[in-house]
Amino acid sequence: MPEPKEWYSLPIRDKKRRTKFLLLFALSVGIFWFAFGTFWGLFSLLVIGLVLLPFYTKTHYRIEEGKIYIKKPFYVLEKDLSYYKKVLKDRYGLFLSPFKKSTPLEDFRGLFLQVDDESLRNELFEYLKGVIEGGDKGEN
């Protein structure tokens, strides 16, 4: 049995340029508060805060025993790796697709794993490629 893989992602720490945009959003909330009053200022703060929640909270990832666990602030997502057929790598992480070939539905049914460290991303890519595409049964 392979050793479990575990990591976490915290985009506000690793993406300094995007953090500057977060500060711009905070400034826009202040302007909204000033222009439209306290109620709408608090409402806009709540909406923007919830939309940006994944940006400033930790997301824990764990791969073990053919499953992947994604722990976010309010819930834990558990998925079987056997559901996925293809692994793709980009500059922000890994994408697990349930299809062997690219389709328009891929973005809606796939799972994106945020991996900020380049060496860890390459290691996980090789590991998941072996687990997902190595155990190929010729199904779609």
User: Is it the case that residue 132 has pLDDT exceeding 50?
Assistant: yes
**Type of residue found at 9:** S
Angstrom distances, CA of residue 16 to CA of 20, 23, 101, 115, 135: 7, 11, 35, 16, 39
Question: What are 38-93's pLDDT values in tens digits?
Answer: 888 888 888 888 888 888 889 999 999 889 999 998 899 999 999 999 999 988 89
Question: What are 93-127's pLDDT values in tens digits?
Answer: 999 999 888 888 777 888 999 998 899 999 999 99
What three-state secondary structure class fits 60? strand
- Residue 9 has phi, psi (to 5 degrees) of -130, 135
> How long is the chain?
140
Domain boundaries, the chain: 11-55, 74-133
Pairing of strands 76-80, 59-64: unpaired
- Residue 95 or 1, more confident: 95
Hey, what are 104's tokens?
Answer: 């328009």
pTM above 0.85, yes or no: no
Angstrom distances, CA of residue 5 to CA of 8, 108, 123: 11, 25, 10
User: Is it the case that residue 1 has pLDDT exceeding 60?
Assistant: no
Q: What is the pLDDT of residue 135?
A: 60
